[in-house]
Structure 1
């Protein structure tokens, strides 16, 4: 009886294990984060800082992803602080392939059109 339940549970539970870049300005060390369901990048528009990591929750449970009406990997949002600080503009980026959240500088992120998606050389196939 337990054997069929075990076999069924193995096929019904999705196994996603991505590795992502981890970096923030406080630690200033790029590390590899394992066993993530999605990789993330967050850019603060006002000062151009970025933080990179990964999430372990299913993407459908993240409001930014679940409510997105576009196919863009980065979403610009106004974030209101509950501590009375002024609101700020941020880009929240999510990607789903191995090490897809390379820690680009703010300038490179702007040049790429506010996306983490790879850019291909002219004339090459995507």
Structure 2
């Protein structure tokens, strides 16, 4: 009796997946990545190049997400590259569909180093 109920609940459980923008300077094409659990944006501070995508792992398994302070979606981090000098990057994570719009470095700076929506004066959400 328990087995049929378990099987029914397994097949009717909602699947939570979002879509994200996907872009890098290598492909120079904005695409959509489907079936992700979070979206990403990575900006290289030294040259202002951004790469966008998403991940399909559980966010609790990504140390950068787990260690982010509440309310922040982007964190500046020094990343050690094997055999190369270290580089500063902004690592951004968000959890709504298409929340990682591929802003230019200049727009990312103007927005205060965040992917969060900017609301018009007086219309804050």
Q: TM-score, normalised by structure 2?
A: 0.92
2:54 aligned partner: 54
Shift of 1:81: 1.1
Unaligned runs of 5+ in 2: none
Q: Structure 1 residues 14, 66: CA separation in 2 closer, same or farther (over 3 Å shift)?
A: farther
2:113 aligned partner: 114
Q: 1:60 aligns to what SS in structure 2?
A: helix
2:17 aligned partner: 17
> Structure 2 matches for 1:62-81, cutoff 5 A?
62-81=62-81
Q: 1:64 aligns to what SS in structure 2?
A: helix
Q: 1:35 aligns to what SS in structure 2?
A: strand
**Runs of 4+ in structure 1 displaced over 3 angstroms?**
7-11
Q: Please state if 1:3 is matched with 2:4.
A: yes
Unaligned runs of 5+ in 1: none
Shift of 1:61: 0.5
The number of equivalent residue pairs is 124
